[in-house]
Amino acid sequence: MNVNCAPRRASTKMQTFNFLSVATIEDAVAALSKGVSRPLAGGTDLIPMLREGRRTA
C-alpha cells in the first residue's frame, strides 16, 4: 500500500512510502531479509516526524 499524506504546510511534502503489515514473525523476517525493508515503531509519532523531515521513510 502506498501512503502519501497531505502536508500541513505548502512547503512540507512527505515522501511516498510502502507500508507492509505482517501477521507472523516469519513474514517479518522474510521482508527484512530482502534488504529493502526496515522495522518502524511508534506510529503515533512517525507521521509527524515524516512531515517535519526528522525521519525518512
What is the model's pLDDT at position 12? 63
C-beta of residue 52 within 8 angstroms of C-beta of residue 12: yes
Query: How far apart are the C-alpha atoms of 50 and 38, rounded to whole Å?
Result: 15
| Residue 50, number of CB atoms within 10 A of its CB | 19
* Residue 47 half-sphere exposure toward CB, CA atoms < 13 A: 9
Residues comprising the chain, all counted: 57
Choice between 14 and 17, residue whose per-residue pLDDT is larger: 17
The confidence band for 5, taking pLDDT boundaries of 50, 70 and 90, is low
> What's residue 26's pLDDT?
94
Residue range 17-54, pLDDT digits in tens? 778 888 999 998 998 998 878 887 766 777 788 788 88
